[in-house]
């Protein structure tokens, strides 16, 4: 089930040793100025550009991106087999629609990277308005359609950090002190 809110609120709700908590901690580092290179990169991106940043290989990585939100008619759902998305808006406003992946009658197959894309369709889905400082935690069971334009918001670019967390529920024991 998706979660939405502020990083500092959500980080308190998850297991301390989980990969999900580590992903939220990375976002907290960014918010608190401990990732100045990300802020500089994000500020320098032009519409349509994105940069992938390695953190812990495929287990935890970031995508810094800049784009103009789309009308709903151009949106599409995406879902991921093993990765949870932490979608953090640094600037701008957008809608994200969410629906349970398991309730979809027919889906195309997942691609080689474990992603699937499919049209929004006409049905109404849960929809959350994200603004700068908000984060959406979207699990593999959550089909989600980000990048959707908020009708009454100014036409501004969205600058977003997506933290990809593989098997976010996995808890790992901390590295022993030496």
- pLDDT digits (tens), the chain, 178 positions: 899 999 999 999 999 999 999 999 999 999 999 999 999 999 999 999 999 999 999 999 999 999 999 999 999 999 999 999 999 999 999 999 999 988 887 888 999 999 998 988 877 689 999 999 999 999 999 999 999 999 988 789 999 999 999 999 878 655 544 4
> Which domains, ranges and CATH numbers included, belong to the chain?
3-166 (2.60.120.370)
36-to-11, 42, 63, 97 alpha-carbon distances in Å: 21, 10, 15, 31
Which residues touch 122 (CB under 8 Å, ≥6 apart)?
Answer: none
What is the model's pLDDT at position 178?
43
Q: Which two tokens stand for residue 121?
A: 């369709």
0.85 cut: is pTM over it?
yes
């Amino acid at each position: 089930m998706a979660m939405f809110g502020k990083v500092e609120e959500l980080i308190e709700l998850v297991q301390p040793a989980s990969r999900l908590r580590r992903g939220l901690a990375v976002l907290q580092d960014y918010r608190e100025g401990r990732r100045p290179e990300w802020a500089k990169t994000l500020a320098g991106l032009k519409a349509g550009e994105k940069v992938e940043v390695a953190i812990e290989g495929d287990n935890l990585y970031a995508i810094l991106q800049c784009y103009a939100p789309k009308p709903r008619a151009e949106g599409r759902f995406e879902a991921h087999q093993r990765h949870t998305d932490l979608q953090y808006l640094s600037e701008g406003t957008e809608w994200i629609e969410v629906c349970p992946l398991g309730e979809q009658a027919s889906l195309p197959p997942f691609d080689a990277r474990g992603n699937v894309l499919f049209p929004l369709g006409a049905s109404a889905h849960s929809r959350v308005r994200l603004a700068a400082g908000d984060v959406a935690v979207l699990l593999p069971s959550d089909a989600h359609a980000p990048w959707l334009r908020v009708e009454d918001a100014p036409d501004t670019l969205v600058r977003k950090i997506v933290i990809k967390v593989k098997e976010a529920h996995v808890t790992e024991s901390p590295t022993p002190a030496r």
